[in-house]
Amino acid sequence: MPISGSYYFWGEKARNVLSKAAVYELYDENYRLMFVGECSNLKERFAEYLETHFSKEPCKVATKYYKREFTSNTKERKKEILEEYKKKYGKLPKCNIVGGEFVIGAEREVGVEKAFYFYEDLDQPLHQVAVSLKDFLEKVKEVSVTSIDFHQNRGDFAKWIRDAFGAVPLADAVETVKETGEGLRRQLIEIVGHPEAAVLASCPQCRTQTRPKKIWSMAGRPSRTGERLKLTIGYYRCSKCGKPFRKVIAKEKVKR
């Protein structure tokens, strides 16, 4: 069930919400649901939105109304709302798509065989393991810069993100970082912490960074093993020169 109750106007009064764990829904001026989120402290989350004017998540700039529901089981409640929405409309709210949850799956976990194992050098494991992008982000904040430099120089981070999650644009963004030490750590935290930026694409005509107008998925014919290659594709129209183009955002092997 979606969040019941009244719509609240988005604005400075949103700062007055309680400092409690909650799920929340953001709506545009036509009361269309744009985003379903969850957090451990709604007051802090809304304060961040209001102070930054959604600069880190521009998809949400059109927010005019919101709903909220206080609950200790935020992740399950959010999952329930999104599953019901997708069942009804055949897709997720647009900012949950562009925000990376559909394309990248920040909380999606992989098995131990695909997990990322941190090392400081060959034969020097740190016994730190990441099984999701969210988990990876937390580990990057903790491990030594020696470990971060070691893996980045080998291209391990980008390869894991690409192979384990099919998040091609995010992997490409990570791969292009040339800094080392704490500068590298900060860049990785920024990129992986805000994966919505990874769906940006350069216009092939004027090189302007452009966000997708539409995102969809399609799968090819099954192989002999029954696997199909599923592509997530973005349709873009350059905001500067108007040129339309497409780009593969993610690749994933799926069972038929």
What's the pLDDT tens digit per position in 21-80? 999 999 999 999 999 999 999 999 999 899 988 876 667 888 999 999 999 999 889 989
Q: 73 in a domain, yes or no?
A: yes
Q: Residue 142, class by beta-carbon neighbours within 10 Å (0-12 exposed, 13-18 middle, 19+ buried)?
A: exposed
Q: Do 151 and 168 reside in the same domain of the chain? A: yes
Q: 108 in a domain, yes or no?
A: no
pLDDT at 103 (0 to 100) = 42
CATH code at 230?
2.30.30
pLDDT at 98 (0 to 100) = 46
* Structural domains counted in the chain: 3
Domain of residue 229: give its range: 203-255
Q: 3 in a domain, yes or no?
A: no
Q: Do 39 and 62 reside in the same domain of the chain? A: yes
Q: 184 in a domain, yes or no?
A: yes
Angle at 110 between CA 195 and CA 224, to 5 degrees: 105
DSSP state for residue 104 in the 8-state scheme: T
pLDDT at 197 (0 to 100) = 58
pLDDT at 101 (0 to 100) = 42
CATH code at 74?
3.40.1440.10
Of 198, 224, 242, the one marking the end of a domain is 198
- The pLDDT tens digits of the residues spanning 4-19 come to 999 999 999 999 999 9
SS (H, E, C) 182-233: HHHHHHHHHHHHCHHHHHCEECCCCCCEECEEEEEEEECCCCCCCEEEEEEE
Q: Do 85 and 163 reside in the same domain of the chain? A: no
Kindly give the parts of the chain with pLDDT less than 70. 56-58, 97-107, 168, 194-199, 215, 250, 252, 255-256
Q: 87 in a domain, yes or no?
A: yes
Q: Do 237 and 171 reside in the same domain of the chain? A: no
Q: 64 in a domain, yes or no?
A: yes
Q: 109 in a domain, yes or no?
A: no
3-state percent helix, strand, coil for the chain, nearest multiple of 5: 40, 25, 35
